Amino acid sequence: MTRPSIYEFAGGDDAFLALAAATTERCLADPELNHPFGQDLSPRHNENLAAYWAEVFGGPDSYSRSLGGHSGMLAIHAGHGTPEEWADRFETCFIQAIDDAQLPDDPDFRKALREYIHWATREVNSYGPAGSTVDPERPMPRWSWDGPVMA
């Protein structure tokens, strides 16, 4: 019997929208992250973030089709001089938001999400220094129960 994708196991689009909204709420409440999260967010921020995470975890490719895929996401964050400690703060908000969003309390599921967000925050931060540019052909990361899926 094959295991469903993490996207399916989580509950699909609704689950990732709940996770995105809960993560954003936690970031707005964080004394360091509230500044970047409180300014110039797209009115569709939560929907876009949910679509990105859904695609990473095996859902539809709507983020890549309409918002530039992984390169598009990285370009949003590149070159802002982001402090390194923001990665840890965002990771903490995300992990706490898993409970807020009432996602499944399955140890393997939670482990996959934690491992992904740790990897993802470090990658995003690597583009933080001023002058950083993003290769427009960066492939969309894919994450399974066993970690990153290599194309």
Quick check: is 33 in a domain?
yes
- Mean pLDDT score of the chain: 94
87 part of a folded domain: yes
Judge contact between 33 and 82, C-beta under 8 A: no
pLDDT tens per residue, range 78-128 = 998 888 899 999 999 999 999 999 999 999 999 999 999 999 999 999 999
Q: What distance in Å separates the CA atoms of residue 69 and residue 136, rounded to the nearest whole number?
A: 9
Residue 1 is assigned to a structural domain of this protein: no
- Burial string for 65-83 (b: 16+ CB within 10 Å, else e) reads eebbbbbbbbbebbeeebe
Give domain status of residue 113, yes or no.
yes
- CATH number, domain of 67, equals 1.10.490.10
Query: 34-57, pLDDT tens digit by residue?
Result: 877 777 788 899 999 999 999 999
The domain containing residue 22 runs over which residues?
13-37+47-148
Average pLDDT over residues 47-74: 97
Whether 5 is covered by a domain: the verdict is no
Q: Looking at the 3D structure of the chain, how many domains does it have?
A: 1
Determine the Cα–Cα distance for residues 100 and 65; give it in Å rounded to an integer: 29
